[in-house]
A and B are shown apart, each in its own frame.
Chain A
Amino acid sequence: EAGVVQSPRYKIIEKKQPVAFWCNPISGHNTLYWYLQNLGQGPELLIRYENEEAVDDSQLPKDRFSAERLKGVDSTLKIQPAELGDSAVYLCASSSGTNTGETQYFGPGTRLLVL
């Protein structure tokens, strides 16, 4: 079974430029998460989808971040414009249900560097 796929793996951009990350979850997983992870920190949730619906985007900085999951499968996270402080690893995870404690499977992440 293929795991969570993310692309690109690395991205270097200049500040104020736009950037987009793509995630394809494990087949059949209806819940998808985007996390941000800073060096030496645990992941921080940005947004959670159940199928195509964003059920929790309370921690997404909506002035510059946007996300979509149009057909309830793969998802895109966008930053426009990027700021220096956005340099981090962006992780995508998926799970097969929404019950508390459901195992989340993570992709390898996209490492973003904003110059």
Chain B
Amino acid sequence: QKEVEQDPGPLSVPEGAIVSLNCTYSNSAFQYFMWYRQYSRKGPELLMYTYSSGNKEDGRFTAQVDKSSKYISLFIRDSQPSDSATYLCAMNALGGSNYQLIWGAGTKLIIKP
């Protein structure tokens, strides 16, 4: 079993819909949770970053972390065709040499005009 599980999709929704993307993980030591967006033939770019549990909002994007369930989510409101991309979750643990990001496989999102 992988440390981080993410549904590869594709997830296809109409423009304007609310999108929910999720990852589950097994390592309770993870404290830093990130969502990266990757357009086709581009490198990943950091979208949201959350430390420990709770919610974080940035414009149309909201990241949620539920450490008790080992479950993280990214919500996109008023989705736009330009949001069509692959969304990767990544996480790591606290301290010292535990810098290495553990990645999900990514969910491909398609927003239909």
Q: Is the CB of B32 within 8 A of A101?
A: yes
What secondary structure prevails in chain A residues at the interface with B? loop
Task: List residues of B (89-108) whose CB comes within 8 Å of A's CBs.
Answer: 90, 92-101, 103-106
Secondary structure of the B contact surface, majority rule: loop
Contacts of A109 in B (CB 8 A): 41-43
Tell me, yes or no, whether B46 is within 8 Å of chain A by CB: yes
Q: Tell yes or no: B81 within 8 A of A by CB.
A: no
- Give chain B's interface residues, CB within 8 Å of chain A: 4, 8, 31-32, 34, 41-46, 49, 51, 88, 90, 92-101, 103-106
22 examples of A-B residue contacts, CB within 8 angstroms: A40-B8, A41-B106, A42-B103, A42-B104, A42-B105, A43-B103, A48-B99, A48-B100, A99-B99, A100-B32, A100-B96, A100-B99, A101-B49, A102-B99, A103-B46, A103-B49, A104-B101, A106-B44, A108-B41, A109-B41, A109-B43, A111-B41
Complex Cα distance, B103 from A109, in Å, reads 17
Q: Is the CB of B105 within 8 A of A41?
A: yes
Q: A103-B49, A107-B43, A108-B41 are in contact. Are A42 and B99 (CB under 8 A)?
A: no
Closest chain-B Cβ to A102's Cβ sits at a distance in Å of 7
Please report A residues at the B interface, Cβ cutoff 8 Å. 4, 40-45, 48, 56, 91, 93, 98-109, 111
